[in-house]
Amino acid sequence: MRDGRYHIRNFTLPELEEWVQRLGEKRYRARQIFQHLYVRNVSSWDACTDLSKSFRAKLEAITIFDALVLKKEFCSSDGTRRFVFELRDGYQIESVFIPDPPRYTLCVSSQVGCPLGCAFCYTGSLGYRRNLTAGEIIEQYSQVRRALGSKPRITNIVFMGMGEPLLNEKELYRSLAIFLDSRGVSFSHRRITVSTVGIIPAMRRLGESYPVNLAVSLHAPTDELRNELVPINKRYPLSELIRACREYPLPRRKRITFEYVLLKGVNDSEFHARKLVSLLAPIRCKVNLIPFNPFPGSSFERPSEERILAFQRVLLDCNITTTIRTSRGLDILAACGQLAGNLDAREDLRQW
Ligand code: SAH
Ligand code: SF4
């Protein structure tokens, strides 16, 4: 609840049922509201004509229908779209829509900024402000869907925008409950991916609660290097992270995805590739190589195409499924690690 009103998208369906009953309404009204929000994706209470006029007037008075304001939208030449939303306290977050037919992925943010400060990440370099609520997470989906019109449909959700989702567990889980609820958005768990840098106790809880896809941002095969690139490694070192991945309750036929940002001259050698192979040997996994995406003030560089392919070759030769993530939306600063909201002074792309 903010300024005395309730953000309507901040309720899971069971919570909404309890809430409408407290307002003196029948329980099934909650399901109607949930369908309006997530199946019909209406943009105002006026459109919910199966609710009585007096109930709608009450809802109008005590709820916030939209907590995000779409501030800007950038369209990349490759079809990627970056959305900048302003929150009610003035902070901004970003969501990225990535069309790759037949897959249409929405990348959502889970925090304003990020406290973990990975060396190569723009979001991390700008600090942390606060966690998002479940409603603010789910509304990114609702608003982008609205902006896209009837087509194309969003088919996949990835928690790879701003922030570390497993540092915002409670709201992450509530947003997953909404995404997965068959009476609303009804996403299959196969189409949702949570990406984490490896908050081990939270990974365990996620695995026990929601069978969504897990992506682990690894980026280095030794503690020495990972401590530098991913400072949280000092708290959750590689041996413990790998053990947690081994013990992760993976649903049948699923694999953990390891993300590995390739940084020229830092973690991209043959030595690193071989180390990575032995580290991952005990795990049912695949690897996603992400050539570094530059941002204002960054000192890292992207390796040559040849080096990237040579790194991939080492992994493939050891039978590790390894893809190279083509950077989408680079021209609009929408690629991995480039999201900043208004935490920087970046006004538009001409400044850079
Ligand atoms: N905090 C979570 C999720 C958000 S980051 C995590 O780190 O997993 C999503 C992915 O983008 C991560 O794998 C991250 O390492 C990667 N990334 C961050 N900065 C990047 C950059 N500059 N270039 C390429 N990938 C980057
Ligand atoms: Fe945070 Fe992920 Fe960026 Fe690291 S890579 S600073 S965990 S958002």
* Residue spans per domain, the chain: 6-64, 68-351
Catalytic residues: 94, 336
> How many whole angstroms separate alpha carbon 326 and alpha carbon 296?
20
- Distance (Å) from CA 337 to ligand 1 centroid: 5
Which atom of ligand 2 is least distant from the CA of 195? 2
CA nearest neighbour of 221 among 270, 284, 256 = 270
Q: Please work out whether the CB of residue 197 comes within 6 Å of at least one atom of ligand 2.
A: yes
Q: Please work out whether the CB of residue 123 comes within 6 Å of at least one atom of ligand 2.
A: yes
Within 6 Å (CB) of ligand 1, which residues are found? 114, 120-121, 160, 164, 195-197, 217, 259, 261, 290, 292-293, 295, 336-337
Per-residue model confidence as pLDDT tens for the chain (352 residues): 557 899 999 999 999 999 999 999 999 999 999 999 999 999 999 999 999 999 999 999 999 999 999 999 999 988 899 999 999 999 999 999 999 999 999 999 999 999 999 999 999 888 999 999 999 999 999 999 999 997 789 999 999 999 999 999 999 999 999 999 999 999 999 999 999 999 999 999 999 999 999 999 999 999 999 999 999 999 999 999 999 999 999 888 899 999 999 999 999 999 999 999 999 999 999 999 999 988 888 899 999 999 999 999 999 999 999 999 887 777 777 777 777 776 664 543 433 3
Which atom of ligand 2 is least distant from the CA of 125? 6
Q: Is 6-64 in CATH node 3.40.50.300?
A: no
Supply the DSSP string of 111-170, one letter for each residue: EEE-SS--TT-HHHHT-EEEEPPHHHHHHHHHHHHHHHTTSSPP-EEEE-SSS-GGGSHH
- Distance (Å) from CA 97 to ligand 2 centroid: 19
**If one looks up domain 68-351 in CATH, what number appears?**
3.20.20.70
Provide the strand spans (E) within 248-347.
256-262, 285-291, 322-324
- Distance (Å) from CA 314 to ligand 1 centroid: 23
